[in-house]
Amino acid sequence: MLNAIIMPNRLEITLKSDLFDAEGEGIRQKATHYFGINLSQVRTIHVVTIDARLSDDQLKKIQTEVFTNPVTQISSFKPLPVEFDWTIWVGYRPGVKDNPGSTAVEAMEDILGAKFGPNEAIYTSKRFCLKGNGLTAEDTDKIAGELLANDIIQQWKIFSKDDWDPETGIGFIIPKVKLNHIPTVITIPIDSDSTLKQISDERNLALNPNDIPIIRKYFLEENVQATRAKVGLSDPTDIELEYISQARSDHCNHNTFRGLFRYHDLAADNLELVDNLFKTCIETPTLTLKERKSWVVSVLWDNAGVGRFDQDHHYVITGETHNSPSNMEAYGGAITGIVGIYRDPMGTGKGSKLIMGSYGYCVGHRDYKGNLKPRLHPRRLLDGVIEGVRDGGNKSGIPTPFGQVFFHHGYMGKCLVFVTALGIMPAMVNDEPSDQKDISPGDLVIMCGGRVGKDGIHGVTAASETFSEHTPAGHVQIGDPYTQKKMHDFLLEARDEGLIAFITDNGGGGLSSSVGESAMFSNGCDIQLEKVPLKYEGLDQWEIWISESQERMTVAVRPEDLKRFLELSKKHAVESTVIGTFTDTGKLHISYNSKTCAYIDLDLLSSGFPQWEFDAHWQPPDKRGLFEPVLRKPVDYETLLKDILARPNICSKEWITRQYDHEVQGTSVIKPLVGTGRDVNSDAVVLRPVLDSNKGLAFSQALIPTYSLIDAYHMTSCTIDEAVRRLIAVGANFEQHIGGVDNFCWPNIQYDLENNPDGKFKAAQLVRSCRALRDICLAYEIPLLSGKDSMYVDGHLPGRYGETHKVSALETLQFSATSVIDDITKCITMDSKMPGDLVYVLGTTGNELGGSEYYEHFGYTGLNVPRVMPEQFAPVYKALGHAVGKEILASAHGIYRGGLGVHLALTAMGGNLGMEVDLANVTVDDVDRNDKILFSESAGRFIVSIDPKRKKIFEDIFKDLPCACVGKITGKPDFVVKGIDSKIIISVPVDSLKTAWKEPFKDLC
């Protein structure tokens, strides 16, 4: 039988013709909205191609019991006679993760009681049946290529009614990976720097030229050569250089943040040497604060930061970005990003349970109609990342209650996809602190979870490879939340039984990073690479070592615990494999079929690799020619307010929020959407992560990159201030506990006359941003629990004449903030509650419209960017905390992008109640115009509403602080604003404001 040829079978499944095909209808509508192609009908057919030896009875059994719902579906092993003018078949390229394919195998093995052979598999694909008058081949191909498929991971075929053979249909397409390659280790000559440089370039090693001499020096040392000779090695092997390249990459090593900056303030003609931004602006302040904040449990070394939640629990948090992959393949990149970040808390301490995730998307304008041709139009890109994070989060059973979207042309070059993950763990596991972990020599190296393929090798550089029928398109991946959820449940059970000595995730760099970094704890390891389970044969040793195949964790298990560990692994249907042993030899020792292919001193990496260096030139905004626009005050404030509410970065994005399960785990306290209509965005979210406790975990994020157009220092300080105010607005205590996570996304800062002429300025912006991070975090006492940086957010986009344009992102910081709430029943929401309640504005409104939404609405940037003044703001924040403690606030809401006018409107819209305010009562500093009071984005401000009975006690708390009663909530649902000249400038129904605010994306769901 072994050599018998497998006759594949192809099952087509579709909904009964009288059932509504929601997926097909969605495609029909997008074809119209996106391309103006009018279709009368789209029906979807699911195709299951079974490349396995099965009898007719077996086929019949799986057809009826697994693949066909007798109530809703019909199916056939012959092409289904669904009507079409054109039909499109879309399937994965070889090597792309086909999640439904693998679950189908599980189901069939179960029901048939037989295991699939190594050459047997199931592949899923889809066929779309399109009907439309005059539909052309070009239309159909456009829908296929720009809506249904992405050529990086998928292949497609189109058939017209006439050239369709109802017998053969799409034929049999088996995307099986066939490499026919014998794994080989190659020795790399290092006779000169230039040779090594050349080979580095040829092999995409991406070795930094400055590192090359150090690498050569090591391999040329006599005693090194002598010890290597003993294990049969001479010059470095490819796997050794790949290991060094991974470990030295900016991703793993943060060479930029640890670099040396020559910061030149041109206006002051002052040159400073800034040595290591990470140390001076992140590490040192955080360690200082850790001394003062007993709740800070573990920071700056593990996969995520750890803070105390209560006596018996710690929470865990980290965040990162997945920009380049999402930019290539939005869905795959985003789902891989969210599922990937979830492994960090799983790999923190001895492992934590995931309790929430959040998202941040920065993309070009959804309705972009210009001449630039990004790989994916922003609209399609956004659709894809939304769906990727949706499936990754929802299928992981982890709530996704918070997120942000920001549209700006600068993200056309490369989009940003921020993903953040929080977990919780018992303070003690088996009488040991859960945040600590260690490895002893002799502990076993175990790889858990998915198998290894060519996935993610050398990241997106591989994207330039040309595809053949059977070469894996693995460099862009599709995360598999199902496989990871099984692993998550398994690892927590193993942790609670005390079986996990050490754990870390496999992300960037694969085993090379996870094992390489773990080995530092015991000071050595022996890895038998042939033991690593592969998706398909034929991977070279170096590929197995650095592959970024997803859903894998690396665990250190004591030999005596192995049996039990594997039992649990089996019970949870998770694959776990011993691939080696940790040692204390000081060596990273890798063999393949008992032949050594790597033998490196672990301390090589800490042996004087040169620091990266940057020139940073700062020119203040006014010297750069920025100025305040000459803008006389408007008259029609009603239309103006509605138009600002309808701007893409202000308007409702409920369609995204509702796609995300934000209540799984039953912990939801403050939801993403609040108010009587449950449709206005909350300032922050609050969870009850320990179900039988009334303590809460509050979480918020902020992102205001527009201010970087003026000064990244103030962009950063305002972003942090906003995240903090968001927490305070739901009832967090500013004095007790605020934790932070910084995620930098920056364009390339390395000056190059040709390719990066403003590199020195961008470098200066980074220095200033880091200094603001340091200053504000120290002033507000925010330890940075975790953080990541992603540089090189630039892209070269083709234009209409074949030319290309470099498009760089705004200098962007996403700041996440957390707080622990002692009593969740004291939490508050932003929506107005009762007619008659008094409305207060806390804080001072200044002439600070630089970079504001208002100026942007007219195409201006301006100069007067908002500034954060901690010494003035902190007392207000503390007072607000007292007011929350006394439970005298009916609502609280920060004033963010768009200013007072927008956020007063949102407060009214939240309660669906009216509001009367008098701008003359607002506390201002050097502002004498209604438009500036309404749209200034000064930091440090809140809108609160209270029961008039509480007036006295409330005002006593804010005695001597900027706190002004500006109006009241009314029963008549009108939004009425009186200008400083005591004339009514706005009087509109609240629901008309809400309609305007919802208008832009109202058709999406």
Partner 1 sequence: MSKVNALVLAGYGLNCDHETAYAFELAGAKATRVHINSLIDGDVKLEDFQIMVFVGGFSWGDDHGAGVIQAVRLKTNLGEKLKEFIDNGKLVLGICNGFQTLVNLGLLPGFNHDYSVRSVALTFNDCGNFRDDWVNLKVNSASPCIFTKDMDCLELPIRHGEGKFYSDESTIEHLVNSNQVVIQYSMPNGELANSAFPYNPNGSVLDIAGICDPTGRIFGLMPHPEAYNHPTNHPDWTRQKEELKRQGKVFEISPTIGLRIFQNAVDFISNSNR
- Which residues within the stretch 664-703 sit at the binding site for partner 1 (CB under 8 A)? 664-671, 673-674, 676, 678, 688, 691-692, 694
List 313, 390, 737, 768, residue binding partner 1 (CB under 8 A): 390
List 496, 584, 661, 955, residue binding partner 1 (CB under 8 A): 661
Return the number of the residue (199 or 673) whose C-beta is nearest partner 1.
Answer: 673
How far apart CA 819 and CA 308 sit, in angstroms, is 10
Calculate the CA 576 to chain-centre distance. 27
Q: Judged by CB under 8 A, which stretch of 440-448, 643-651, 653-661, 913-921 contacts partner 1?
A: 653-661
List 127, 350, 725, 833, residue binding partner 1 (CB under 8 A): 833
How far apart CA 447 and CA 220 sit, in angstroms, is 33
At CA 665, angle to CA 660 and CA 669, rounded to 5? 80
Return the number of the residue (36 or 666) whose C-beta is nearest partner 1.
Answer: 666
CB of 300 to partner 1, least distance (A): 31
CB of 72 to partner 1, least distance (A): 5
Binding to partner 1 (CB under 8 A) within 720-749 occurs at none
List 831, 848, 856, 931, residue binding partner 1 (CB under 8 A): 831
CB of 887 to partner 1, least distance (A): 7
Binding to partner 1 (CB under 8 A) within 578-637 occurs at none
How far apart CA 784 and CA 772 sit, in angstroms, is 13
CA contacts within 13 A on the Cβ side of 317: 32
CB of 823 to partner 1, least distance (A): 10
CB of 813 to partner 1, least distance (A): 29
Q: Which residues pair with 83 in a beta bridge?
A: none
List 583, 829, 907, 970, residue binding partner 1 (CB under 8 A): 829
Binding to partner 1 (CB under 8 A) within 757-776 occurs at none
CB 820 within 8 A of CB 697: yes
Check the CA dihedral 471-473-479-482 and report its sign.
negative
Return the number of the residue (367 or 887) whose C-beta is nearest partner 1.
Answer: 887
Asked if 421 is part of the footprint of partner 1 (rule: CB under 8 A), the reply reads no
Binding to partner 1 (CB under 8 A) within 868-907 occurs at 887, 890
CB of 328 to partner 1, least distance (A): 24
CB of 15 to partner 1, least distance (A): 8
CB of 688 to partner 1, least distance (A): 7
Binding to partner 1 (CB under 8 A) within 104-163 occurs at 104, 106-107, 110-111, 124
Collapse the DSSP code of 156 into the 3-class scheme (helix H, G, I; strand E, B; otherwise coil) and give the result: strand
CB of 248 to partner 1, least distance (A): 37
How far apart CA 907 and CA 887 sit, in angstroms, is 19
CB of 669 to partner 1, least distance (A): 5
Q: Of 613, 605, 516, 520, which is closest to residue 255 (Cα–Cα)?
A: 613
CB of 486 to partner 1, least distance (A): 7
Return the number of the residue (438 or 823) whose C-beta is nearest partner 1.
Answer: 823
Return the number of the residue (516 or 675) whose C-beta is nearest partner 1.
Answer: 675
Q: Read off the DSSP letter of residue 237.
A: B
Q: Where are the alpha helices (DSSP H) in 551-694?
A: 562-571, 637-645, 654-657
Return the number of the residue (106 or 928) whose C-beta is nearest partner 1.
Answer: 106
Main-chain phi, psi angles of 443, to 5 degrees: -60, 145
CB of 574 to partner 1, least distance (A): 10
Binding to partner 1 (CB under 8 A) within 15-44 occurs at 15, 19-20, 22-23, 25-26
List 662, 929, 968, 978, residue binding partner 1 (CB under 8 A): 662
Return the number of the residue (660 or 975) whose C-beta is nearest partner 1.
Answer: 660
Residues 6+ apart with CB under 8 A from 205: 199, 241, 242, 245
How far apart CA 438 and CA 617 sit, in angstroms, is 44
Return the number of the residue (103 or 923) whose C-beta is nearest partner 1.
Answer: 103
CB 714 within 8 A of CB 865: yes
Return the number of the residue (127 or 248) whose C-beta is nearest partner 1.
Answer: 127
End-to-end Cα, the chain, rounded Å: 52
CB 482 within 8 A of CB 103: yes
Q: Which residues of 764-774 are buried (b: 16+ CB within 10 A; e: fewer)?
A: bbbbbbbbbbb
Return the number of the residue (549 or 583) whose C-beta is nearest partner 1.
Answer: 549
Return the number of the residue (581 or 891) whose C-beta is nearest partner 1.
Answer: 891
Return the number of the residue (45 or 598) whose C-beta is nearest partner 1.
Answer: 45
Count Cβ atoms within 10 A of the Cβ of residue 562 and give its class: 0-12 exposed, 13-18 middle, 19 or more buried: middle
Binding mask 205-224 for partner 1 (x = CB under 8 A): --------------------
Q: Read off the DSSP letter of residue 452.
A: B
Q: Judged by CB under 8 A, which stretch of 12-20, 197-205, 552-560, 808-816 contacts partner 1?
A: 12-20
CB 246 within 8 A of CB 513: yes
Q: Judged by CB under 8 A, which stretch of 245-253, 599-607, 735-743, 830-838 contacts partner 1?
A: 830-838
CB of 424 to partner 1, least distance (A): 11
**Amino acid making up residue 305:** G
How far apart CA 403 and CA 798 sit, in angstroms, is 31
Q: Judged by CB under 8 A, which stretch of 187-195, 360-368, 658-666, 970-978 contacts partner 1?
A: 658-666
Asked if 261 is part of the footprint of partner 1 (rule: CB under 8 A), the reply reads no
Asked if 270 is part of the footprint of partner 1 (rule: CB under 8 A), the reply reads no
Q: Of 463, 574, 448, which is closest to residue 511 (Cα–Cα)?
A: 448
Q: Which residues of 363-389 are buried (b: 16+ CB within 10 A; e: fewer)?
A: bbbbebeeebebbbbbbbbbbbbbebb
CB 61 within 8 A of CB 112: yes
List 262, 564, 658, 695, residue binding partner 1 (CB under 8 A): 658
518: left (phi over 0), alpha (psi -120 to 50) or beta: alpha
Quote the tokens at residue 907: 């407060």
Largest CA distance in the chain: 93
List 33, 279, 373, 571, residue binding partner 1 (CB under 8 A): 571
List 145, 397, 648, 973, residue binding partner 1 (CB under 8 A): 397
How far apart CA 307 and CA 320 sit, in angstroms, is 18
Return the number of the residue (275 or 887) whose C-beta is nearest partner 1.
Answer: 887
Binding to partner 1 (CB under 8 A) within 47-76 occurs at 65-67, 69-72
**Amino acid making up residue 600:** I
Return the number of the residue (664 or 920) whose C-beta is nearest partner 1.
Answer: 664
Q: Read off the DSSP letter of residue 806.
A: E
Return the number of the residue (221 or 567) whose C-beta is nearest partner 1.
Answer: 567
Binding to partner 1 (CB under 8 A) within 309-368 occurs at none
Name the strands in the sheet holding 685-687, side by side, starting at the edge strand that comes first in the sequence.
Answer: 668-670, 685-687, 696-702, 812-821, 739-745, 784-790
CB of 307 to partner 1, least distance (A): 22
Main-chain phi, psi angles of 211, to 5 degrees: -80, -25
How far apart CA 866 and CA 849 sit, in angstroms, is 7
- C-alpha distances out from residue 654 to 39, 106, 403, 893, 911, Å: 28, 37, 11, 19, 17
CB of 27 to partner 1, least distance (A): 10
Which stretch of DSSP H or E encloses residue 231?
none
Binding to partner 1 (CB under 8 A) within 935-954 occurs at 947
Binding to partner 1 (CB under 8 A) within 83-102 occurs at 99-100
Binding to partner 1 (CB under 8 A) within 460-519 occurs at 480-482, 485-486, 489
Main-chain phi, psi angles of 871, to 5 degrees: -65, -30
Residues binding partner 1: number (CB under 8 A): 73
